[in-house]
A and B are shown apart, each in its own frame.
Chain A
């Protein structure tokens, strides 16, 4: 089966611009998660979707971040306007309860804000 895919793999933008990251989970996985790793630090949880509903968005840093999962398939994470501290690697993961809820991660999107 195809794994979790993320687009783009890299993005370089200037402070104040908008960027949208996309995640395509494994087909049939109801759970979708977003994480972020700032260089050299921990991978931090951002939010969790169950199908199209936000189950837990306690990790979202502020209201400049907007995540959507219309139709319960792919998800987007929009940063508007981007700030320097938003730079990092954004990971997406998906899981299915019937398969032990093990999270399968995508390759990540490396975001650089200049």
Chain B
């Protein structure tokens, strides 16, 4: 079985500071890893994915994530947070070849002005 852990229910960061939203996963075989964001009253929006290749993946809105196989992690990062980044972030994993992901519980990111 595959699983995702997002250890923080909420992350608070000041605007302009770097942000990290943590994610660790468990899956048999090679993982497909995803980050989605949900803004209030909106659907999930795809941010980025890791399938293969470079461990550092760049996505939408200046976000990036680093695949770390030894630590089974896929933390989401951004060098300089914006207030508009405040939203709910979901990490997800699927077994290689499958595009049906298992999601984490979500992390609420709050960026303070």
DSSP majority for the A interface?
strand
Q: Are B43 and A45 in contact, CB atoms less than 8 angstroms apart?
A: no
* Residue tally, chain B, CB below 8 Å to A: 19
Identify which of residues 56-114 in chain A touch chain B, using a CB-to-CB cut-off of 8 Å.
56, 91, 93, 95, 101-108
Q: Are B99 and A103 in contact, CB atoms less than 8 angstroms apart?
A: yes
User: Is the CB of B105 closer than 8 A to any CB of chain A?
Assistant: yes
Expressed in whole angstroms, the Cα–Cα distance for A45 and B100 within the complex equals 8
For residue B49, which residues in chain A have a CB less than 8 angstroms away from its CB? 102
User: Is the CB of B103 closer than 8 A to any CB of chain A?
Assistant: yes
Known: A42-B106, A102-B49. 17 other contacts (CB 8 A): A3-B43, A4-B43, A6-B43, A40-B105, A42-B104, A42-B105, A43-B103, A44-B103, A56-B100, A91-B43, A95-B99, A103-B99, A103-B101, A105-B43, A105-B45, A106-B43, A108-B43
